[in-house]
């Protein structure tokens, strides 16, 4: 995913785990299943 995606809570498309992403940082693989496929749940500021 694009590191410039907005900061917020993201949900893993594979297992449903939710993790925080900070804009400008690289997305890490999911800590639960190891996949790297995310969708945003809620933007934060």
List, for residues 28-37, the tens digit of each pLDDT value.
Answer: 999 999 999 9
In whole angstroms, what is the distance from residue 32 CA to residue 6 CA? Answer: 22
Indicate the domain borders of the chain. Answer: 8-43
DSSP letters along 17-42, please?
-EEEE-TTSPPPPPTTT----EEEEE
pTM: 0.90
Contacts of 10 (CB under 8 A, 6+ apart): 18, 19, 20, 21, 27, 38, 39, 40, 41
Q: Which residues of the chain have pLDDT under 70?
A: none
Are 25 and 3 contacting, i.e. CB atoms less than 8 angstroms apart?
yes
């Amino acid at each position: 995913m694009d590191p410039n995606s907005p900061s917020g809570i993201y949900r893993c498309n594979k297992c449903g785990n939710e993790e925080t992403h900070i804009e400008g940082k690289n997305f890490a693989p999911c800590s639960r299943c190891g996949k790297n496929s995310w969708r945003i749940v809620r933007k934060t500021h």
